Amino acid sequence: MSDTPPAAAAGQPARRGPGLGTATRATRQGAAIAALLAGTPVFTTAQDLHTRLRQQGQPVGLTTVYRHLQVLADAGQIDVVRTPEGENLYRRCSTQDHHHHLVCRTCGRTVEIDTTEIETWTTRVATAEGFTDLDHTLEIYGTCATCATG
Amino acid sequence: MSDTPPAAAAGQPARRGPGLGTATRATRQGAAIAALLAGTPVFTTAQDLHTRLRQQGQPVGLTTVYRHLQVLADAGQIDVVRTPEGENLYRRCSTQDHHHHLVCRTCGRTVEIDTTEIETWTTRVATAEGFTDLDHTLEIYGTCATCATG
DNA sequence: GTAATTGCAAAGGATTTGCTCTGGT
DNA sequence: ACCAGAGCAAATCCTTTGCAATTAC
């Protein structure tokens, strides 16, 4: 065990966790992670989530945070983007449809953008060059109005 | 020194290397790296370049490879893209203008694509949302015709 | 001769894995 | 009781940094 005594079981729904095996169990950690993600509308790092969980008295191992994020991402329940620095940023997503983001590099605020025309364009260009089994990345970074002013 | 006897100084121009300090000296290593990059039309990793240099009898330390790549990239003489796995890929670029790539995930073959319309689009969308100081990433990955067939 | 460059070894930082203990069901 | 999940420590992977030895100029 750790050192910090768990803040006792709060009365939470306790969501289902990593489906590493076949079944899936509801754990305090899984619930805490899901809840935190649900209330976090910006892209954040695994490390940040880990820190905030400790602060709110719901300590969860960093490894566990990573494992849940991985499962959630695979299930398409959260988005993952890779920063130019090579760090992964996670965020709950409103739709499971394919989409891209406009991310504020200062506060993490994100705007999901409709990229229908771009999708069409990339497919057309790549196909014209004889490429198949396509995939692509597209993220726009900038400073949002609030951060630019304040 | 290493173990592999340098293939003696061939009669190469010996390009200028890392401008880490103020001046810049021409070294055998810098020339080898520049030459290899010049003859490599696909995106490759630093490790791969390092390995190939050894194979062709021009051993260069991995550290040195990284340092030269960094300098070349800063100077805009080579392109750098980050794979979803977090590895950097390098390639000489034909133009220093802003552009994007269509990369074969099997052989690394690359097609530089004109993205004028996309540039316009991203700027319009981001500006409409109040974002400034824009930057963006866009890469398309796929399997090229050759790799799909063979 | 002097300073830039090299390159080994070791550090760094994010993420993953091994393995044992804990805790849902 | 049984097996999925938690989590610590240690391992990975790529890339960077420290520093002494080398070498261009």
* Residue range B49-62, pLDDT digits in tens: 999 999 999 999 99
Identity of the amino acid at B65? V
> CA–CA separation, A143 vs B135, rounded Å?
10
Residue A131: pLDDT above 80? Answer: yes
Tell me the shortest Cα–Cα distance from A85 to chain B, in angstroms: 9
Whether chain B has a CB inside 8 Å of the CB on A145: the answer is yes
Nearest to A113 among B111, B125, B142 (CB): B125
B117-127: pLDDT as tens digits: 888 989 999 99
- Name every chain B residue with its beta carbon within 8 A of the beta carbon of A113: 125
Nearest Cα residue to A122 out of B81, B86, B121: B121
In DSSP terms, B113 is beta-bridged to: B100
pTM for this predicted structure: 0.74
B26-81: pLDDT as tens digits: 899 999 999 999 888 888 999 999 999 999 999 999 999 999 999 999 988 998 88
Both tokens of B101, joined, read: 């790539």
Which range has highest mean pLDDT (A9-13, A44-48, B142-146)?
A44-48
Both tokens of A79, joined, read: 């988005």
